[in-house]
Amino acid sequence: MKISSANYVVGATNTSNFPTMNLPEFMLCGRSNVGKSTFINTIFNNKYLAKTSSKPGKTQVLNWFLINDCFCIVDAPGYGYAKVSKSQKEAFGIMIEDYLVNREELKAVFQLIDYRHQPTEDDVLMYNFLKYYNIDVYFILTKEDKVKKNDLKKNLNIIMKTLDCYDNDKFIPVSSVNRNNIDKVLNIIDTYL
């Protein structure tokens, strides 16, 4: 897929102000700091598109990005960030659940997992939630450039085992540093368009 345009559309916190473009949407979810916003900038080749930070908790609302005027990517706040207040965590949770359960435009979710670490309880809960609602999910393993060659297979096995996933679930290791496998993600999106 050739990317001819990628633009920020809007940020929203509840159904009443979600945009109404009636285009296919793909959501990114994952722990705070796993690299969701960076991943958007990497796939669409524009480091200023989504705001990123080395400190967790950067993204605070659902952000829509319009790609090639034909589909949207939705960036979400991360889960599992200890410093976010309990009430804010609940608000993020409700907003993301509301989106995932009710959004007709949603085609698939890319769940991002840090390739260096064992998935957390929150990662497992999110995966089970997606499966329960029959939402197509693809795992993106981020920060591959930071994993030692010798650990690639071992880490993948730990991640698959912890998530207790299905044999046909797809895992795509990516890196914002060397752009590894970015074309594979675009190919997946293409199959829904």
Instruction: Give the footprint of ligand GTP on this chain (CB under 6 A).
Output: 30, 32-38, 52-54, 56-59, 77-78, 142-143, 145-146, 175-177
Question: CB neighbours of 62 closer than 8 A, spacing ≥ 6?
Answer: 11, 12, 13, 18, 74, 75, 76, 77, 95, 96, 99
Q: Is 20 helix (H, G, I), strand (E, B) or coil?
A: coil
DSSP annotation of 162 reads: H
- Choices 6-14, 50-58, 109-117, 154-162 (CB under 5 A): range interacting with Mg ion: 50-58
Shortest distance in whole angstroms from residue 22 CB to ligand GTP: 26
Residue number, 32 or 111, with CB nearest to ligand GTP: 32
- Out of 37, 41, 42, 155, which residue is the one contacting Mg ion (CB under 5 A)? 37
Residue number, 7 or 157, with CB nearest to Mg ion: 7
Residue number, 30 or 119, with CB nearest to ligand GTP: 30
d(CA 166, CA 140): 15
- Out of 9, 11, 23, 58, which residue is the one contacting Mg ion (CB under 5 A)? 58
Q: Which partner, ligand GTP, Mg ion, none, binds residue 107 by CB below 5 to 8 Å per kind?
A: none
Q: How far apart are the first and last CA of the chain?
A: 11
Asked whether 103 and 133 are in contact (CB, 8 A), the reply is: no
